[in-house]
Amino acid sequence: MSDAALKEKPSHAGFLKNNLREYGMMLSLFAIMIFFEVVTNGTLLRPLNLTNLVLQNSYIVIMALGMLLVIVTGHIDLSVGSVAGFVGAVAAVLIVKLGVPWVPATLLCLALGGAIGAAQGYWVAYFKIPSFIVTLAGMLVFKGLALAILAGQSVGPFPPAFQKLSSGFIPELFADAGTLYPTSFAIGALLALALVWQNFRSRARQESHGIETEPYGFFLAKNLALFAVIAYFAYLIASHRGLPNVLVIMTVLVALYAFMTTRTVIGRQIYAVGGNEKAAKLSGIKTERLTFLTFVNMGVLAALAGLIFAARLNTATPKAGLGFELDVIAACFIGGASAYGGVGRVGGAVIGALIMGVMNNGMSILGIGIDYQQVIKGLVLLGAVCLDVYNQKRA
Amino acid sequence: MHALLEMRDISKHFTGVRALSGVDLTVEPGEIHALVGENGAGKSTLMKVLSGVHPHGSYEGAILFDGEERRFRDINDSEALGIIIIHQELALIPLMSIAENIFLTDPPSRFGVIDRSAVHRRAKELLAKVGLDEAPDTLVTNIGVGKQQLVEIAKALSKKVRLLILDEPTASLSEKDSAALLELLLEFKAQGIASILISHKLNEVSKVADRITVLRDGRTVDTMDCTAGAVEEDRIIRSMVDRDLEHRYPKRDPKVGDTIFRVRDWSVFHPLHADRQMIRKVDFEVKRGEIVGIAGLMGAGRTEFAMSIFGRSYGRKISGHAEIEGREVDLSTVRRAVDAGLAYVTEDRKQLGLLLADDIRKNITLANLSAVASSNVIDDVKELRVAADYRGRMRIRSHSVYQEAGKLSGGNQQKVVLSKWLFTDPKVLILDEPTRGIDVGAKYEIYCIINELADAGKGVIVISSEMPELIGICDRICVMNEGGFVGEFPGAEATQEKIMRAIMRQAVMPQADVRQVDMRKGERP
C-alpha cells in the first residue's frame, strides 16, 4: 500500500536533479557575468567597475533581505522605495538643516523606519488588510511626505563622516603596498577560508550522525569553486581601493539573515507561517506577531537602504527611491521565492539582486538605452519565474 | 422501456484507497431515488463519477443514460444530457443577484450582449416554478439558506434537466423549508423529472422516495422498493451499518483512572453570525487512560467544540471553564492550550495540519521547536534525532526524514501529524477524524497508536463519523447533535443503531425539544 513511499531512494543523478534549482540560480548569475564580461571586452570585471557595481546595488541587496521575509510570509511590500526616499529626506533635514550629529541622526532614522514598518504591519497582521493595499497606500503617503519635508528641493551635502557610510573604504593597515590593498585582500581570503572550513566542519558533523550528505566529489568541487570565486573577487576589489564600507555592512547582514532564516526558531516559524498559516497557528505559532515583525524588519532595512543611498548621492532628493521596490521584489522572485509564500532563500534573493545589478551595469556599459534595458529586465524576470514554476511541476 | 440511468459495476480508487467497488445504481424515469449511507460510504464519490467530476477513464464500470453508454469528460458533458447536480455547499455567488446567478453560465443574450429584460422575465418564471417569492434583483447574500437552495434548483431548471441530484439538500434547512423542498421534488416527479436524493434524514427519505439504495464502504448493500409500502427506518439503519467489527480493531485492556480533563458550561457562538449558538453550554470530561468518542453527523458541532477548546481556534463569545488534572487552565490561545497539555490533531490534515512543502523533520518539531533549540538556535542534530526517533516508532514509511510531507500517503501523513503532537508531550489528545482517507492497514496502525497513548495514561478524545470505528476503539461514546450532547453510551454497550437513533430522534425534533434533551442530560448524575 505504501510502495510509492518506499520506492524513492537517493542517487547521485537524483541529487543533482533535485538541487538543480538551488544551484541553477548561481550558474545563471555566472553565465550572465561571463556574457557581459565578454561583450564588454573585459570592462565588467575591471576593479573600478566591480567596486561601482557593489556600491550601486548594495541598497537593493539590503532591502531584498527584508523583502524576502515579507514574501516568505506570503505578503508583499510596495512601499520600500518610498520609505527609503523618505528616510533619506529625514536624514538630510536632521543632519544638514538641523545640524544633528550623524550618529544619533542615523539611529533615529533607523528607528523611524521600524516605526513605519510597524504602522503598516499592524494593519496587515492584525486587521488582515491585504498587504498589497496597505503598502500601496504607504507608497503614496511616504512619497508625498518626502516631497513635503524637502519642500520639493534637494538637500545636501552631508558631512564627510556620513558620506563614508556609502562611499568610504575600510582603512588600510599596511600603507605603501603598491597597487594592492593587502588588508582588504586578506579579509576576503580569510572569509573564503572560513566559509570552506565551515562547510567541511558541518559536513563532518552531519556524517558522524549519519545524515544524508551530497556526493563527496560534488562537495569538493563546490567548495573549491566557492573559494576561488571569493578569493578572485577579493583580489579584484583589493586592487582598486579596497573593501567598501557598504560591502562590509552588506556581507554581515547577508550572513546574519542567512543564519536567522535557516538555523533559528523564529526563522523556521516565519517559513511555517508562509507555508501553511492555519497549520502554523494550530501548532501554537503566533502568526500575527511574526507577520508584524517581518514588516518592522523591512522598515528598518528600507531606512538603512535610504541612508546609504542618500550618502552615496551626497544629497536627498524628492525622487530618491523611486522604483526601488520593483527591483527589490524582482530580485526575490528571480532568486526563487514563491509568490504564494513559504519558499525562498536569502542566498537566492542576493543572487537575484546581483543578476539585476549585473544586467543593469552591463547593459549601461554596452550603451543600451534605459528603454530597452527595462524590456530586457522584465523578460528576464518572467523567464526566471517560468523556469522555476516549470522545475517545480516536473519535480 | 429502459431505465433513465444505469450505473453498472462502478469502481473508483484514490491513491491507496478504494472508494467504490462494484456499485450498481438504476434510476427509472420520473423516480425519486434516495441514496443513503454513512459518511464516507461513497455517496458523493458516486455522484462525482456520474456528473463527470471524475471523468471517464478514472473509474471502472459503465454509465448508461437513456440506454446508451456515456463517457463524460467533465461536468459540461453530463449537464448537456440534463444531469444536474446540486452540491451540499451551494455554488452561488453571494454578491450577484438571484437572476444573475440563475443564468450565470448561459444568460439569454443577443449578439453577446446580455438581454437583461429576458433574464429578469425568465428568472421570474423559474422562481415561480420553485415557489420562491423574491424579486430577481435581490442579492443572493441577502436571502436565507433555504431560499438559496431554491435558487440553486431554479438554476438547474433553467437548463434542460432530466435527472436532478441533490446532495444533502435539507442539511441546513429548517423544518418548514425542508418540507417545501420535498414537496417540490414530488412536483418535479409529476412533470417527469427524476431525482437522486442524498440524505441523512431517514424520515424525509421514507416520505418521498420511490426506492432507496444503501451504500456501505463503497458497495451497494441493498435497494429497497417503497412503492409497495413504507420501509421501516430500522431496516434502513440496519443495512447502513456494518456488523462485522471483529479483527478490525486491536484489543485493549482499559485502565481508566481519575478525571484528567473537564469542560463545564462550554458555549460557543458562530464566528460570523453572532447570534447563532454553535455549542450549547455543554459539559464534558475525559479520564486518565480513557478513550472517549464523540459521534455525530457532519455539522453536529464536534469539530467546532474541539477547536474552540484548543486555543479558541473556532468561534467567538466562548464561555465556560476548563480543568486539567483538577486545576483550572487558560486555553485562550493555542500556545497556552499546548502548554497546558492539550493537543489537537485536525480533521483536515492537508489544510490545517501539515506544511506540505516541508519535510517530515520540520513538520514533527514545529509545535515544540524550543525543545530542539538552545537559545533560539535550532540544533539540527538534535532535531534530526527526534524526527528519526518518531519516524521509527510510528513506522512512517518514507525514504528518510527529509521527504516532503506532501508526497506521503494519507496514513503516513497522519502519523507525521501525530508525531508532531506527541512531541509536545500532551496530557490530553483530541483526534478529529484520525483515519479519514486512510486505508485499512494504516487505520489499524493508527488505532494501535491511540491505544498506546491511552495506556500511557493520557486522555484521548476521538471524533469520528465512522461509528464502527468509535465502537471498536472507545471506552465511552458521547453523541453530539446541533451543538449539544444528546446521548452517552459505554463502549461495550454502544451499537450503531443506538447511536443513529439518538441522532435521528433528535434530528426530527423541533427546537423546543432540544432544550428538553439538554435538561434531561443535566439531571443525570
Condensed to tens digits (0 to 9), the pLDDT of residues A162-209 reads: 998 888 888 877 766 667 788 888 888 899 999 999 889 888 887 887
Domain span at residue A83? 44-168+244-394
A chain contacts of residue B370, beta-carbon cutoff 8 Å: 265
Q: How far is CA A185 from CA A155, A164, A199, in A?
A: 36, 20, 21
Beta-carbon separation of A279 and B351 below 8 A = yes
Please state, for a pLDDT cut of 70, what percent of chain B lies above it: 92
Residues 6+ apart with CB under 8 A from A197: none
Residue B489: alpha-carbon gap to chain centroid: 22
Alpha carbons A359 and A334: distance in angstroms, whole number = 13
pLDDT digits (tens, 9 = 90+) for A269-323: 999 999 999 999 999 999 999 999 999 999 999 999 999 999 999 999 988 888 8
Q: Which of A9, A209, A212 has the CB atom closest to B381's CB atom?
A: A209
Residues A84/A309, Cβ–Cβ less than 8 Å: yes
| Min Cα separation A343/chain B (Å) | 9
Q: What is residue B275's three-state secondary structure?
A: coil
Alpha carbons A370 and B524: distance in angstroms, whole number = 82
The label of the residue with cell 579596497 reads A242
Closest-CA residue of chain B to A277: B352
Q: What is residue B499's three-state secondary structure?
A: helix
Given pLDDT bands bounded at 50, 70 and 90, which one contains residue B263? very high
Beta-carbon separation of A264 and B442 below 8 A = no
pLDDT given at position A42 = 87
Closest CA to A159 of A89, A113, A103, A110: A103
Q: What is residue B80's three-state secondary structure?
A: helix
Alpha carbons B378 and A126: distance in angstroms, whole number = 28
pLDDT given at position B511 = 41
pLDDT at residue B199 greater than cutoff 50:
yes
Give, rounded to a whole angstrom, the gap between the first and last alpha carbons of chain B: 62
| A112 domain-assigned | yes
Please provide residue A124's backbone torsions phi and psi, each rounded to the nearest 5 degrees.
Answer: -70, -50
| Min Cα separation B24/chain A (Å) | 26
Which residues are B215's β-sheet partners?
B220
B 319-338 → A contacts, CB under 8 A: 333-335, 337-338
Q: Which residue would you say has higher pLDDT here, B155 or B235?
A: B155
| A1 domain-assigned | no
Alpha carbons B477 and A217: distance in angstroms, whole number = 60
Interchain CB contact of B15 with A (< 8 Å): yes
Residues B476/A35, Cβ–Cβ less than 8 Å: no
pLDDT given at position B516 = 38
Beta-carbon separation of B367 and A9 below 8 A = no
Closest-CA residue of chain A to B412: A2
Q: What is the mean pLDDT of residues B328-341?
A: 93
A18, A209, A262, A276, best to mutate vs chain B, most B CBs in 10 Å: A276
Q: How far is CA A159 from CA A55, A95, B322, B401, in A?
A: 19, 8, 64, 56
pLDDT at residue B523 greater than cutoff 60:
no
Q: What is the mean pLDDT of residues B29-39?
A: 85
- Omega cis (within 30) before A47: no
Neighbours of B190 (CB within 10 A): 8
Closest-CA residue of chain B to A341: B357
The label of the residue with cell 520593483 reads A326
B chain contacts of residue A287, beta-carbon cutoff 8 Å: none
How many helices (DSSP H) and strands (DSSP E) are in chain B?
A: 17, 24
| Min Cα separation A203/chain B (Å) | 12
pLDDT digits (tens, 9 = 90+) for B499-510: 888 887 755 444
B chain contacts of residue A9, beta-carbon cutoff 8 Å: 399
Closest CA to A331 of A373, A384, A260: A384
Closest-CA residue of chain B to A342: B357
Q: Which residue would you say has higher pLDDT here, B355 or B112?
A: B355
B chain contacts of residue A5, beta-carbon cutoff 8 Å: 397-399, 403, 407-409, 412
Residues B461/B480, Cβ–Cβ less than 8 Å: no
| A222 domain-assigned | no
Q: Any idea of the CA torsion for B289, B290, B291, B297, to the nearest 10 degrees?
A: -150
Beta-carbon separation of A268 and B378 below 8 A = yes
pLDDT digits (tens, 9 = 90+) for B139-149: 988 888 778 88
A chain contacts of residue B376, beta-carbon cutoff 8 Å: 264-266
Work out the burial of residue B336: count CB atoms within 10 Å of its CB; fewer than 13 is exposed, 13-18 middle, 19 or more buried: middle
Residue A318: alpha-carbon gap to chain centroid: 24
Q: What is residue A335's three-state secondary structure?
A: coil
Q: What is the mean pLDDT of residues B401-426?
A: 89
Alpha carbons A10 and A207: distance in angstroms, whole number = 16
Beta-carbon separation of A264 and B384 below 8 A = no
Q: How many domains does chain A have?
A: 1
Please determine, for the modelled complex, whether the ipTM score is greater than 0.90: no
A21, A276, A283, A338, best to mutate vs chain B, most B CBs in 10 Å: A283
Beta-carbon separation of A281 and B334 below 8 A = yes
Beta-carbon separation of B411 and A209 below 8 A = no
| A109 domain-assigned | yes
Alpha carbons A11 and A214: distance in angstroms, whole number = 10
Closest-CA residue of chain B to A279: B352
Residues B210/B180, Cβ–Cβ less than 8 Å: no
Residues 6+ apart with CB under 8 A from B282: B263, B265, B266, B267, B305, B483, B484, B485
Average pLDDT, chain B: 85
Please provide residue A29's backbone torsions phi and psi, each rounded to the nearest 5 degrees.
Answer: -60, -45
Closest CA to B458 of B325, B329, B346, B369: B325
Q: What is the pTM of this model?
A: 0.78
pLDDT given at position A16 = 61
pLDDT at residue A393 greater than cutoff 80:
no
Closest-CA residue of chain A to B334: A284
Secondary-structure percent of chain B, ordered helix, strand, coil, rounded to 5: 35, 25, 35
| A161 domain-assigned | yes
Interchain CB contact of B406 with A (< 8 Å): no
Please provide residue A176's backbone torsions phi and psi, each rounded to the nearest 5 degrees.
Answer: 55, 40
- Is the torsion defined by CA of B110, B111, B114, B116 positive or negative? negative
Given pLDDT bands bounded at 50, 70 and 90, which one contains residue A14? low
- CATH number reported for the structural domain that contains residue A338 in this entry: 1.10.3470
| Min Cα separation B95/chain A (Å) | 20
| A277 domain-assigned | yes
Local structure of residue A73 (DSSP, 8 states): T
Residues B266/B308, Cβ–Cβ less than 8 Å: yes
Interchain CB contact of B357 with A (< 8 Å): yes
Q: What is the mean pLDDT of residues B418-438?
A: 90
| A328 domain-assigned | yes
Q: How far is CA B350 from CA B434, B444, B463, B487, B523, in A?
A: 13, 21, 18, 32, 41
Local structure of residue B510 (DSSP, 8 states): -
Residue type, B432: D
Q: Which of A2, A206, A268 has the CB atom closest to B369's CB atom?
A: A268
pLDDT given at position A9 = 41
Q: For residues A204-239, b (16+ Cβ closer than 10 Å) or e, as one string?
A: eebeeeebeeeeeeeeeeebeeebeebbeebebbbb
Please state, for a pLDDT cut of 90, what percent of chain B lies above it: 34
Beta-carbon separation of B409 and A272 below 8 A = no
pLDDT digits (tens, 9 = 90+) for A71-95: 999 999 999 999 999 999 999 999 9
| A66 domain-assigned | yes
- Is the torsion defined by CA of A276, A279, A282, A284 positive or negative? negative
B chain contacts of residue A2, beta-carbon cutoff 8 Å: 16, 397, 409, 411-412, 442
Which residues of A lie inside 8 Å of B (Cβ-Cβ)? 1-2, 4-6, 8-10, 205-206, 209, 211-212, 263-266, 268-269, 271-272, 275-276, 278-286, 342-343
Neighbours of B328 (CB within 10 A): 10
Q: What are the cell numbers at B155?
A: 438554476
CB pairs under 8 A between A and B: 112
Beta-carbon separation of B346 and A282 below 8 A = yes
Closest-CA residue of chain B to A264: B377
